[in-house]
């Protein structure tokens, strides 16, 4: 495997697979629980690869998936490009704070692109905290006439290689 690109050293603790549970809610839907798997990888270039998928807790049916790339254009800055199979593409930018024990990421969409058949999503933002082998996140969304508000939250744990 290629060496991790030097721009990504701060994100090295993300590498690998993560699994856990979360919950979703929004004024226009019924609240739900889900299981999730995330994988961060690299190929030696100045980006991490990202792949995510979720399934319903009650019956295991597939719910959502995302793929994308994370870039660190300068120290303390993060860019995340994401594609969703629902016809949504988003570019998120924000801050990256790293201490000896924690990674904190705060992102907001600078662009949300939609196909003509996709739901009307106007804004997205994410907060991610990684401490040791635990990754916690919150996703906020403004969509279908609703203001920006909490939509998803989960805690995942690093899976053994």
Q: Please write the tens of the pLDDT for every residue from 110-129.
A: 999 999 999 999 999 999 99
pTM: 0.95
Residue 28 marked as a ligand binder: yes
Average pLDDT, the chain: 97
Residue 151 marked as a ligand binder: yes
- Segment 60-99, tens digit of pLDDT: 999 999 999 999 999 999 999 999 999 999 999 999 999 9
Q: Where are the domains of the chain?
A: 6-158
The CATH class that applies to domain 6-158 reads mainly beta
Residue 102 marked as a ligand binder: no
- CA–CA distance, 63 with 86 (Å, rounded to integer): 11
Tell me the pLDDT band of 1, cut-offs 50, 70 and 90.
confident
């Amino acid at each position: 495997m290629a060496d991790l690109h030097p721009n990504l050293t701060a994100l090295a603790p993300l590498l690998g697979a993560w699994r856990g549970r979360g919950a979703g809610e929004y004024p226009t839907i019924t609240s739900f629980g889900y299981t999730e798997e995330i994988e961060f990888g690299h190929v030696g270039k100045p980006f991490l690869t990202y792949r995510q998928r979720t399934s319903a807790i009650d019956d295991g049916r597939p719910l959502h998936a995302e793929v994308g790339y994370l870039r660190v254009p300068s120290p303390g800055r993060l860019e995340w490009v994401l594609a969703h199979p629902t016809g949504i593409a988003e570019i998120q930018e924000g801050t990256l704070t790293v201490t000896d024990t924690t990674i904190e990421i705060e992102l907001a969409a600078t662009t949300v692109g939609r196909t003509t058949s996709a739901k009307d999503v106007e804004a997205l933002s994410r907060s991610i905290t990684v401490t040791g082998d635990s990754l916690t996140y919150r996703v906020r969304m403004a969509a279908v006439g609703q203001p920006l508000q909490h939509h998803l939250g989960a805690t995942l744990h690093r899976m053994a290689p």
